[in-house]
Amino acid sequence: MIESDFFSDPYSNLPKQGKVAWKAPSNIALVKYWGKLAHQIPANPSISFTLDACATTTSMAFGKKEESSDTFSFDLLFEGKPKEDFKPKIQTFFERIDAYVPFLKEYHLVIETSNSFPHSSGIASSASGMAALSLCIMDIEKQMNPDMDEVFFNKKASFLARLGSGSACRSIEGDLIQWGTHKNIPESSNLYGIKYPFEVHPLFKNYHDTILLVHKGQKQVSSTVGHELMHGHPFAENRFQQAHENLDALKAVFASGDVEEFIKIVESEALTLHAMMMTSMPYFILMKPDTLEIINKIWAYRSENHVPICFTLDAGANVHVLYPESVKEKAIQFIQDELVEHCEKGHYICDRIGQGARKIQ
Ligand code: PMV
């Protein structure tokens, strides 16, 4: 599909008012997206596990304006209270998606949003937040166009979410989502995420992700700035090429359930992401001493006990500890005994692979 496929059909039957609500999960990338072109087009393809517990719930009440106007009109409540400082981001998002959902300007919207995870946990809410918002908008569009099928609904929701925050396009469906054109992945697209189209061993169907909250404060460098620094980065082209190769390598890994190869690719991806940050100009480091302590303890534990526990990192200091269901008890014991002491206030979140967003009735 191409961009113009997402322009909405002319509409005549605008509902007068209503309310829709969706809960969308976060996701954790295995092959990382880092670097982008104009209009949120990724510089390389990526793949992620959709999460389950870490999610944003958003409702959107819409009422037709008395008179048409060419501006967006909305109130925003975060965890029940007006949140003025979130509004510019949403205004920018609405401007980016205007051409695809022109009906939005016909309404005054009241958006209420909340996260399942603590606000200042250092977990980015932009993926789940933009996904939930996009699904609410698509739900309104579907009321005007009831014949819209689920496949298009999800694709366009992912397409819109991408324009809010790139990785948000991987937070619509579960459980393994690929985004970005790749020559060996049929139907892959830079415009939206797709369900991973190849065989996936049951081992990877119920993976766990325990998120260790190492540093809950604001990041020194935002993802937006980080992506930007990949322009003119001395290693950028090799890095983008490597992401393509890692996606190729993962095909056999997912099919066979080869957890050792999985670990090599996933940990290398995490460290490469941070290596790109450290070799940007200006350079920066988002890991903290405790991030490295945790990584070293995971490596020591894995080699001593032959338990397939590994880590990945987002653009921050928190560590995502990944492990299959079969070693759950051992992994939790190890995390409690050795890793929790490196978490801020001992906080961590037990999450697992999930099946995607759902409508709240
Ligand atoms: O979606 P953004 O612009 O916040 O970028 C997210 C980038 C990473 O989380 C670091 C990697 C990824 O693929 O999710």
In angstroms, the Cα distances linking 102 to 20, 96, 166 are 18, 11, 21
Q: What is the mean pLDDT of residues 222-238?
A: 96
184 plus 314 within the same structural domain: no
Residues 33 and 179 in one domain: yes
- Cβ < 6 A, ligand 1 pocket: 29, 32-34, 46, 124, 126, 165-167, 223, 227, 273, 314-315
Q: Which has more pLDDT, 254 or 83?
A: 254
Three-state SS at 26: strand
Nearest to 28 by CA among 142, 156, 170: 170
> Given 3-state DSSP classes, what are the helix, strand and coil percentages for the chain, each rounded to the nearest 5?
45, 25, 35
Phi, psi at 317, each rounded to 5°: -90, -15
Q: Which of 27, 30, 33 to mutate to test the pocket of ligand 1 (most atoms within 8 A of CB)?
A: 33
Q: Does residue 121 register a pLDDT over 70? A: no
DSSP conformation letters of 90-104: HHHHHHHHTTT-GGG
**76 shares its domain with 105:** yes
Longest Cα–Cα distance of the chain, Å, equals: 69
- Residue 46 sits in the same domain as residue 194: yes
pLDDT recorded at residue 295: 98
Orientation of helix 87-97 relative to helix 150-164, angle to 10°? 130
In CATH, what number is assigned to the domain containing residue 283? 3.30.70.890
* Distance from the alpha carbon of residue 59 to the mean position of ligand 1, in angstroms: 24
Q: Determine contact, residues 337/301, Cβ cutoff 8 Å.
A: no
Whole-number Å distance, alpha carbon 345 to ligand 1 midpoint, is 26
Predicted pLDDT at 1: 84
Report yes or no on 268 lying in a domain: yes
Measuring CA to CA, which residue among 169, 157, 154, 153 is closest to residue 41?
Answer: 169
Instruction: Tell how far the Cα of 315 is from the centroid of ligand 1, in angstroms.
Output: 7
> Measuring CA to CA, which residue among 225, 180, 239, 244 is closest to residue 315?
225
Instruction: Identify whether 358 is part of a domain.
Output: no
Out of 168, 198, 228, pick the residue that ends a domain. Answer: 198
Burial (CB count within 10 angstroms: exposed 0-12, middle 13-18, buried 19+), residue 37: exposed
Exposed, middle or buried by CB within 10 Å (0-12, 13-18, 19+), for 271?
middle
**Whether residues 269 and 295 fall in one domain:** yes
Number of the ligand 1 atom closest to the C-alpha atom of 34 = 7
In the 8-state DSSP scheme, what is residue 9? P
Q: Name the residue range of residue 255's domain.
A: 204-352
Tell me, yes or no, whether 235 and 274 share the same domain.
yes
Does 260 fall in a domain? yes
The verdict on 150 and 243 lying in the same domain is no
Please tell me the distance between residue 310's alpha carbon and the centre of ligand 1 in angstroms.
Answer: 19
Number of domains in the chain: 2
The pLDDT of residue 120: 64
Per the domain annotation, does 357 fall within a domain? no
Dihedrals phi, psi of 163, to nearest 5 degrees: -75, -20
Mean residue pLDDT of the chain comes to 95
What is the three-class DSSP state of 133?
helix
What is the position in ligand 1's atom list of the atom closest to the CA of 165? 1
pLDDT band at 309 (very low <50, low <70, confident <90, very high): very high
Is 184 inside a domain boundary? Answer: yes
- Best of 27, 34, 224 for a ligand 1 pocket test (most atoms within 8 Å of beta carbon): 34
Q: Which CATH number fits the domain that encloses residue 25? A: 3.30.230.10
Both 165 and 17 in one domain: the answer is: yes
130 and 234 both lie in a single domain:
no
pLDDT digits (tens, 9 = 90+) for 149-207: 999 999 999 999 999 999 999 999 999 999 999 999 999 999 999 999 999 999 999 99
Q: Does residue 146 register a pLDDT over 70?
A: yes
C-alpha Rg value of the chain to the nearest Å: 20
CA–CA distance, 9 with 31 (Å, rounded to integer): 35
Q: State whether 26 and 11 are in the same domain.
A: yes
**176 and 32 share one domain:** yes
- Residue position matching structure tokens 């935002």: 222
Which of 198, 221, 239 terminates a domain? The answer is 198
347: left (phi over 0), alpha (psi -120 to 50) or beta: beta
In this structure, the answer to whether residues 84 and 214 fall within a common structural domain is no
Q: Is residue 309 part of a domain?
A: yes
Single out the residue of 47, 66, 53 nearest to residue 265, CA to CA: 47
Question: How far is ligand 1, taken at its centre, from the CA of residue 128, in Å?
Answer: 12
* Predicted local distance difference test score (pLDDT) of residue 217: 75
Mutate to test the pocket of ligand 1, among 34, 128, 167 (most ligand atoms within 8 A of CB): 167
> In this structure, which amino acid lies at residue 227?
H
CA distance 292 to 270: 12
Last residue of a domain, one of 177, 198, 219: 198
Separation of alpha carbons 345 and 25, rounded Å? 24
Total number of residues shown for the chain: 361
Say how many Å lie between the CA of residue 48 and the centre of ligand 1. Answer: 10
Q: Average pLDDT of 8-27?
A: 91
Classify strands 176-179 and 193-195 as parallel, antiparallel or unpaired: antiparallel
Task: Bin 323: left if φ > 0, else alpha if -120 < ψ < 50, else beta.
Answer: beta
Mean pLDDT of 314-329: 96
| CA of 200 relative to ligand 1 center, distance in Å | 23
Is residue 145 assigned to a domain?
yes
Answer yes or no: is 361 within a domain: no
